[in-house]
């Protein structure tokens, strides 16, 4: 059986025993420790020949080791496209410590997992549930789509500064994310959208954004892919198109989030921020049907089930509804992760020990 599937089943069983009859701090800490260790192990000791992209990254990493520190931003990489200076320097710094690509994957895994754990501890009412949804959410793809998924974590870390209205710190965090993956620029408006106050003003703002994006999506995409961002033309020129499935799933999640939280949906803090993030994600996913990069770009807004589902469970009135929410979304995301078209890239996943 695929090691990724085995690990997920193991964590589901462990999470069940750590959650019943009631989760306790000691059980939570134990689950976090075990899950952190297994996830870090899987992403560190992956056989790079069994997944996409990593073979190119190891060649780029080896080339970067021999590059002068000051020439890192301008050096042409022959085997992999990495236009982002921040990610280049991450590879270079790791290369100064060790020439082993396994060490780089270990450092990357530490940064990625520590970032998520920090976000979960800040905003999730049920950290065990959050980790399970991370496993059936971003984890698998993050094994080989490494630049974007590290940038996504940094975006989640910026939530603190959005909520606290610290614009300068938010800009610095988003700039850091941009230096890891340039498509991060798409999430920039979230700060300003969050600080629109009043139910009617918020709804009007979302509608205005939807209209603007609908009529300008193709133009915006072409400009971003060929003129503004470096090395992203392939996003626009690919023949692969995004269908309506993504919009449907986001729509279900947003609808249930609204129905369950009700008047609490616009509470200052993470509740409001997640509502706005899902709303913008739904708008972009609908407007982007038929365009190749939509599913990748929208992830900055929609990869939040590891927070939205636990929060829905928190606000659900009865134990039956809580369990139905968990069962519904865990089943849906498990099916998408391990039986969807994306798993074809990881169907041969194996470890190199």
Is the pLDDT score of 250 beyond 50? yes
- Arithmetic mean of pLDDT over the chain: 90
| Residue ranges of domains in the chain | 3-345
Instruction: Assign 239 a pLDDT band (cuts: 50, 70, 90).
Output: very low
If one compares 148 and 247, the residue with the highest pLDDT of the two is 148
In 3D space, the residue among 102, 193, 107, 198 whose CA is nearest the CA of residue 150 turns out to be: 107
Instruction: Assign 97 a pLDDT band (cuts: 50, 70, 90).
Output: very high
Residues 254, 278 contacting (CB under 8 angstroms): yes
Average pLDDT of the residues in 233-255: 70
Q: What percent of the chain has pLDDT over 70?
A: 91
Residues 215, 269 contacting (CB under 8 angstroms): no
DSSP H helical ranges for the chain: 3-19, 25-44, 54-65, 85-97, 101-123, 127-134, 140-142, 146-157, 159-163, 167-178, 190-194, 199-223, 233-237, 245-261, 270-287, 294-297, 299-302, 305-315, 319-339
For the whole model, what pTM was predicted? 0.92
pLDDT of residue 213: 82
Torsion sign over Cα 129, 131, 134, 135: negative
pLDDT of residue 229: 57
State the first-to-last Cα distance of the chain, in angstroms, to the nearest integer: 17
pLDDT of residue 78: 85
Average pLDDT of the residues in 114-143: 97
CA distances from 90 to 85, 97, 146, 165, 212 (A): 9, 11, 12, 29, 37
For residue 203, give both structure tokens. 């709804």
User: 3-state class of 263 per DSSP?
Assistant: helix
Average pLDDT of the residues in 293-319: 91
The DSSP symbol for 79 reads S
How far apart are alpha carbons 278 and 64 in whole angstroms?
A: 38
The DSSP symbol for 139 reads I
Instruction: Classify residue 115 as exposed, middle or buried by CB count within 10 Å of its CB (0-12, 13-18, 19+).
Output: middle
pLDDT of residue 103: 98
How far apart are alpha carbons 127 and 142 in whole angstroms?
A: 20
Is the pLDDT score of 270 beyond 80? yes
The alpha carbon of 63 is separated from its chain's Cα centroid by a whole number of angstroms, namely 28
DSSP string for residues in 243-257: -SHHHHHHHHHHHHH
Average pLDDT of the residues in 19-41: 91
For residue 23, give both structure tokens. 């989760």
pLDDT of residue 127: 96
pLDDT of residue 216: 74
How far apart are alpha carbons 78 and 106 in whole angstroms?
A: 24
Is the pLDDT score of 221 beyond 80? no
Of the listed ranges 23-27, 116-120, 208-212, 346-350, the least confidently predicted one is 23-27
CB crowding 302-336: b at 16 or more within 10 Å, else e: bbbbbbbbbbbbbbbeeeeebeebbeebbeebbeb
Number of residues that make up the chain: 353
In 3D space, the residue among 209, 239, 39 whose CA is nearest the CA of residue 139 turns out to be: 39
pLDDT of residue 111: 98
Average pLDDT of the residues in 188-210: 92
């Amino acid at each position: 059986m695929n090691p990724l599937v085995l690990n997920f089943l193991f964590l589901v069983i462990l999470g069940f025993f750590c959650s019943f009859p009631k989760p306790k701090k000691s059980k939570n800490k134990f689950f976090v420790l075990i899950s952190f260790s297994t996830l870090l192990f899987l992403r560190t000791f992956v056989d790079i020949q069994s997944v996409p992209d990593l073979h190119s990254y190891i060649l780029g990493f080896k080339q970067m080791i021999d590059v002068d520190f000051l020439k890192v931003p301008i050096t042409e990489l022959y085997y992999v496209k990495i236009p982002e200076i921040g990610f280049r320097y991450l590879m270079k710094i790791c290369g100064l410590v060790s020439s082993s690509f396994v060490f780089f994957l270990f450092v990357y895994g530490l940064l990625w997992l520590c970032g998520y754990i920090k976000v979960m501890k800040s905003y999730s009412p049920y950290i065990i549930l959050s980790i399970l949804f991370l496993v059936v959410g971003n984890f698998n793809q993050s094994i080989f789509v490494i630049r974007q998924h590290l940038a996504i974590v940094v975006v989640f870390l910026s939530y603190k500064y959005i909520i606290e209205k610290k614009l300068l710190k938010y800009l610095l965090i988003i700039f850091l994310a941009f230096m890891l993956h340039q498509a991060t620029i798409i999430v920039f408006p979230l700060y300003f959208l969050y600080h629109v106050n009043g139910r009617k003003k918020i709804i009007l703002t979302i509608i205005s954004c939807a209209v603007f994006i609908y009529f300008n999506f193709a133009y915006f995409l072409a400009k971003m892919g060929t003129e503004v961002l470096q090395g992203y033309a392939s996003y626009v020129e690919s023949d692969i198109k995004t269908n309506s499935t993504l919009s449907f799933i986001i729509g279900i999640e947003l609808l249930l989030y609204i129905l369950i939280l009700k008047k609490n949906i616009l509470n200052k803090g993470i509740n409001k921020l997640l509502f706005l993030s899902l709303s913008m994600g739904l708008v972009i996913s609908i407007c982007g049907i038929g365009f190749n990069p939509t599913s990748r770009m929208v992830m900055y807004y929609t990869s939040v089930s590891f927070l939205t589902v636990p929060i829905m469970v928190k606000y659900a009135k009865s134990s039956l509804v809580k369990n139905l929410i968990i069962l519904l979304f865990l089943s849906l995301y498990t099916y998408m992760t391990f039986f969807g078209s994306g798993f074809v890239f990881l169907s041969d996943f194996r470890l190199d020990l």
